[in-house]
Chains A and B, each alone.
Chain A
């Protein structure tokens, strides 16, 4: 008889696949533009700012990209740990740590983008 899967586990499993598929598209663009297309000299603030400032398209892109990256990374690590059937206490405390780390990373990412997107710097 099939074991019942909790709704939360099913949701995070699905979100891991969904965020992964989105990241496949996002990362292709991100790497292409920010790692490959830059072929001369050093990347500096002025160059990144010029590309991003005032661009609605890049804003939408990164509003999804940053949280999806953070979620996919932390949920992926959590899935590895969960495979080893951790105890209830370890499981609960790890979830708290991951949530805190995730929120901090997302907040830092958001603040960074606000500065990189600033117009007239």
Chain B
């Protein structure tokens, strides 16, 4: 019930304040939660090194295919949105630029789109079925 209340409050808040600040605030939270979950999965995959090099190579091999290459693009999107938005928040807070937060948001979006275009270009070969050698 408490969780339902949280969702309801969040929805009402987002509906009342439809502006880029609200979007950035909620997307920062959602991307942050997603990245925290990813951190646990990332730790699980890499921790196979504790069991030895064969175990590490096998588990790493299981997450290297076109599907995970696509998910990596989604991950990098989350990382860079969260990173750029976090930098925007810090710059606005520490340099007394809160009144210019919307301008900084659009600068952030331009940088974000540029990084994502570069990411897709770099990841594109990995999305092809012939990129990864068969195990």
Contact = CB atoms under 8 A, between A and B. Distances in A.
Q: Do A and B come from one complex?
A: yes
Interface in A27-41: 27-28, 31, 35-36, 39, 41
A74 B49 contact: no
Given A27-B79, A49-B53, A105 B39 contact: yes
Contacts of B32: 73, 76-77, 80
Contacts of B127: none
B83 A24 contact: yes
B22 to A, nearest CB: 14
B128 interface: no
A43 B64 contact: yes
A17 B90 contact: yes
B56 interface: yes
B29 interface: yes
Nearest to A20: B86
Nearest to B125: A39
B64 A73 contact: no
Interface of B: 2, 6, 9, 29, 32-33, 35-36, 39-40, 43, 46-47, 49-50, 53-54, 56-57, 60-61, 64, 72, 76, 79, 83, 86-87, 90, 93-94, 122, 125, 132-133, 135
8 contacts: A17-B94, A43-B64, A45-B60, A49-B53, A70-B39, A84-B6, A105-B39, A109-B43
